[in-house]
Amino acid sequence: MRRGRRIFARAALSGSTAPSGLAAASPVSPTPTAPSPSAAASVPAGARIDPREIGLIATLLILAAVSWVVTSTQLSGMDMGRWTDPGPLGFFVTTWVVMLAAMMFPSVAPMVVAYSRIQNHRRRQGRYAPAGSTAVFVAGYLVAWTVFGVLAYGLYNAVASLLPGFFGSDQGGRYLAVAVILVAAAYQLTPAKNVSLMKCRNPMDFLLHGLRPGYSGALRMGIEHGAWCVACCWALMVALFALGVMSLGWMALIGAFIAGEKMLPWKRLANRSIAVALAVIALGVAILPAATGGMAM
């Protein structure tokens, strides 16, 4: 049963027609080799590009652009440099979700397109694939990141309440920021980072092993993929809190880091380059705090 589901998912991603009568199909190797990340979300040579996929990518990019504009309006005048107070919970959650759309939608687009391709293939085969399941998948992804944001918010406020002034520059907040950024740099080099980054870079692997039908399946898959993304990028996001979560400049830089390591073909080079860049930023915060206190746009 699992093998049949994997064969079907592979056919959907490749754009070919699924074999009829899986039981009567010719033997298939139980351990197929997964293609590269770019091949997983690309259209095979000679195949016509589906206009729906172009529309989906355009929608994600437009939503990201609109989210940048909205975020810029929401955060106008709020960038106070390192460890900026995130404000009331309701405001933070709203702002956080919009920030996620701005920062993450470009890099999650290959996964969303691959998922949508499978759903479209299921519909052509007369299998259950309800309309709107791709949107539910994206919603699940945002749910996972929102849970992370709320937990980070709660931790920040708990520490700030127990240790007033702890995040202030006059009481070591600057050196705490340096330590957090260095931790983010070190995490780039860990096996945990490598495993979770591979999950994010390879839509085929994730979809072959986790395909679930229906709205509940789409939501669960979105949350699972979001959880892998959190495991991959949590340190970068914590570094964003340290640098100034209300700073559009730092948001743009961290968002570029995330997109680069997920989408560029040179995985190792991108990963190591980000680690070096974070170490340089930490050094700048320690030596030239005024120059790195905020990156307004």
136-148, pLDDT tens digit by residue?
Answer: 999 999 999 999 9
Q: What is the pTM of this model?
A: 0.75
Amino acid at 108: V
Section 145-157 average pLDDT = 91
Q: Is the pLDDT of residue 192 over 90?
A: yes
Section 24-50 average pLDDT = 45
Regarding predicted confidence, which is higher, 37 or 215? 215
Q: Which residues contact 187 (CB under 8 A, 6 or more apart)?
A: 193, 235
Regarding predicted confidence, which is higher, 52 or 177? 177
CA 99 to chain centre: 12
Give the model's pLDDT for residue 136. 95
Residue 76: pLDDT band (50, 70, 90) is low
Q: Which residues contact 50 (CB under 8 A, 6 or more apart)?
A: 43, 117, 120
Q: Are 254 and 232 in contact (CB under 8 A)?
A: no
Backbone torsion region of residue 126, taken as left when φ is above 0, otherwise alpha when ψ lies between -120 and 50, otherwise beta: left
Q: Is the pLDDT of residue 19 over 60?
A: no
Amino acid at 55: G
Q: What are the two backbone dihedrals, phi and then psi, of residue 259, each rounded to the nearest 5 degrees?
A: -65, -40
236-290, pLDDT tens digit by residue?
Answer: 999 988 887 777 888 889 999 999 999 988 889 999 999 999 999 999 888 876 6
